[in-house]
Structure 1
Amino acid sequence: MNIILVEHHEITADTITLRDRRAEHISRILKSRPGDLLRAGIIDGPMGSAQVLAVARREVTIRLDCRQEPPAKAATALILAIPRPIMLKRVLAQAAAMGVQRIMLINARRVEKSFFHSSQLSPAGIRAALLQGLEQAGDTRLPEVTLHPRFRPFIEDQLPPPRPNGPLRLLAHPTKKPVEMATASLRQSETGPDDPLPAGNLRGAAPAAVPARRQMLAIGPEGGWVDFEINCFAKQGFTPFSWGPRILRVDTAVPVLLALAEAL
């Protein structure tokens, strides 16, 4: 936990009394004492510091001084076929830690139907995973998360059509020629604003200002995309994108491919 995050409603005259895992972290892990300064931030708001006022066995009182803007968000939006629930928790935390601003969780042929009934896909489960990522990275802004249980309606109706000056669209799929096709597409494309996407049923914070260059990266399930899905993405302007022929686990593929996409 590299930043103490608090909710707006918890603040009373810039003072907060914590009685949960944050208090335990401050007292037992950081071993803070009255007068110590900690890195802190308001969820979906500014960040700064918190002065420890009092430390008891199960509660800690702090005073906030948050006036700084959080780090800029990444330029890549993530389209992710829903992985196993235990892996989804890690992936969401990693994506939030890497500054992803928008995450679209979608269905695919090789996604098990039972995944959609997991508590990890509840608003509370998603939010908890995202907060862990923000605490790791020292950020305050929650990514926007939307859930799309039907693949074809998402691709054909909800995903904006490709535009000549729109975002670079990348489809993660193992190939023998990593990133070459995607790099060529990047050179040929023109800079333009991101395509707007309709609000979903798991909306987080409103997106913050980001650089004009935008990208969409689609990562499939561990079994990979089927040919039908690859063709659907291709019709929507997605270019095959890979780091090589090796097949990675989703929780490894997401940070690796996000880093490659940002490097492009």
Structure 2
Amino acid sequence: MLGLVAPPGDLGRMARDVADYLLGLGLRLDERLVVWISSEDSDLLRVARTDLAVFRSEIDTQPVHRYRHVYGVDGLYGRNLNFGIRTDSGRVDQIGNLIVIEWQGVPRAVEFGISIPMLLSLCHDKPHPLCATPIAEYLPPATPTDIWLADALATAEILVQEGLRPRKHGRNRTVRTAMWRVAELLPTSSFQIDGISRALGSLSADRGGFADDMSGQMAAYVLRSVEYMANRSAGRPDTGIPLSQIL
């Protein structure tokens, strides 16, 4: 996710900077990008018709809730101008927002946020944002299960690179959850454990490599987790090596 926050008076300037950024990507976005606005938001309408005039605008074509942003704090909400891309095959999806953030009805800031994987997936007509990330190069997904597994695996690899390990408590629990998700999905995916090990090695090499054979240890952890889950599901005693001794 790429984001930017500025004072509310910089709405027009931010919109112009956003337009320059998007056009500078060289992805034919002047032809493909759509701006969605609510007719109730006069300031965002003005910006769409001036600072973002190079892009096509569509007014009131989305459900009302898509033009509002909730932050979970009473009195704090946002009014959205949404960016979308129309692919060559006709698919349209949202990639980001330009938001006027208000506190009790008074503008306090403007915010821009864009999902780079979503942007790339739509520009290259990929079926899912994950297909525009590095994991898909080394572990190409063929099914929805593959996508879920690859997403969890990529998350686990980054966290292990940062020194976390799959454990029950604290921040390490996130790694454990991700790796157990990989193990849970592996039997019904199109992937094999050798392919997962190679993908982990390639991902780590892109970032300078693990200090030791961590990709092999991660693959072994997944395989042992599959065995543990199968034993637990069948009501069999599990006598294998403890997972904490693998990674």
Query: How high is the TM-score relative to the length of structure 2?
Result: 0.29
Q: How does the TM-score come out when normalised to structure 1? A: 0.28
Bigger helix share: 2
